[in-house]
Amino acid sequence: MAQAGGFTDEKFAAVRDQFERNLDDGTDIGASFCVVKDGETVVDLWGGWADPEKTRAWERDTIVNVYSTTKTMTALTALWLADQGRLDFDAPVAEYWPEFAANGKAATKVSHLMSHSAGLPGWTAPMDKHDLYDWDKACGLLAEQAPLWEAGTQAGYHAVTQGYLVGEVVRRIDGRSLGTVFREELAGPLGADFHIGLPATEDARVADLTPPPGVGLASGEQNAAQKAAFNNPPVDVSETRTRAWRGAEIPAAGGTGNARSVAMVQSILANHGEMGGRRFLSEAGCRRALECQIDTTDIVLGMPVRYGMGFGLSGPLSPALNDESMFWGGYGGSLVLVDLKNRLTIAYAMNRMQGTTTGDMRAITLAAQVWQAMA
């Protein structure tokens, strides 16, 4: 039987059992799972292997690329800036980034960037994977681009572009890159081991992602928004093993951390702005994330969604969540759930990817065990 490292509060013994079962039966190769309640860690588990060849154990400080779970860190950075009175979500993007007004985007608001409704789900000009490492080029092309729909009229998952869009607004206001603001104002003061732009000194701790079995629509069946979001450039999981990917700031998909660091940072929101004995945001500033911006079918994901300010909100596909909860998942299965009503954060990060863009049943099953134990 696999033995997980870490600890669980007594009443969460079933959570440990489930976590160890996943490692035992191959559901997971290596993984981490963490629960923070009222600002205190009640579950912190890790185990398995950091590589598919099973030559490196998944240790307490193993970290991994969590793909779109990174978006919650980008959203929190923007929420922090807004809470300082320096960013207005209702303002046009062009107020902060004048070049963005090109091609009919003068009225596009920052809130549209936060809620995947800006009409820029991907690039329409040809993009090579190396262009993701060129911040000015990636942002410049988005500033020039005509939207695929009128901002605010529909939602289409901005899979990679959201990070550049929100990140450039933050940079224009603050002068520092988004990864730097996140590190200096949020992760650093908390001592949270999450990085948007990983220093080379930390490479040895990074687990290798194992790509999911081939999934997805054939390109002939994709609509224009899906083609832009997923194929330009195409997603290449092996790229996450390169220094270029890890070191770059890709604020929608390139973050590196583990369940503990994800839960610790997002507990700022769950705990109404206070974490680790320090106030980061006002309670009202945290609640901005829960304000529904659009309630519709996402034309990239092809499913009903309710998007708040940078997070998914409770809706038809997330019945377990209350109306003061939000979540986001990453390609392959990582997930974070943030519950302001119960001051609860649940996070999962792993290296065996499944074919999902929005989290998967491994995290949901562990979260269900947590809710059961709390009930």
Residues in the chain: 375
Give the pLDDT of residue 66: 98
Tokens representing 176 are 């520092």
**For position 247, what pLDDT does the model report?**
98
CA quadruple 194, 197, 136, 228: dihedral sign: negative
- pLDDT value at position 213? 82
Q: What average pLDDT is seen over the chain?
A: 95
The DSSP 8-state label assigned to residue 159 in this structure reads T
Flag the least confident range among 190-194, 212-216, 219-223, 359-363.
Answer: 212-216
pLDDT in tens, 19-40: 999 999 999 999 999 999 999 9
Strands (E), the chain: 5-8, 30-37, 40-48, 64-65, 256-257, 274-275, 278-279, 294-298, 303-307, 312-313, 325-329, 335-339, 344-350
Q: Would the pLDDT of 342 be above 70?
A: yes
Share of the chain above pLDDT 70, in %: 97
Going from the C-alpha of 374 to that of each of 22, 150, 325, the distances in angstroms are 21, 44, 16
pLDDT number for residue 219: 58
- pLDDT class for 61, splitting at 50, 70, 90? very high
CATH of domain 63-331+339-349: 3.40.710.10
pLDDT band of residue 340 (cuts 50, 70, 90) is very high
What are the tens digits of pLDDT across the range 67-124? 999 999 999 999 999 999 999 999 999 999 999 999 999 999 999 999 999 999 999 9
Integer CA distances (angstroms), 194 to 74, 78, 173, 200, in order: 12, 17, 23, 14
pLDDT of residue 215: 55
Q: What is the pLDDT of residues 240-296, one digit of tens each?
A: 999 999 999 999 999 999 999 999 999 999 999 999 999 999 999 999 999 999 999
Cβ of 360: how many Cβ atoms within 10 Å?
Answer: 21
Asked if 149 and 120 touch (Cβ cutoff 8 Å), the reply is no
Do the Cβ atoms of 81 and 280 come closer than 8 Å?
A: no
pLDDT in the model for residue 359: 64
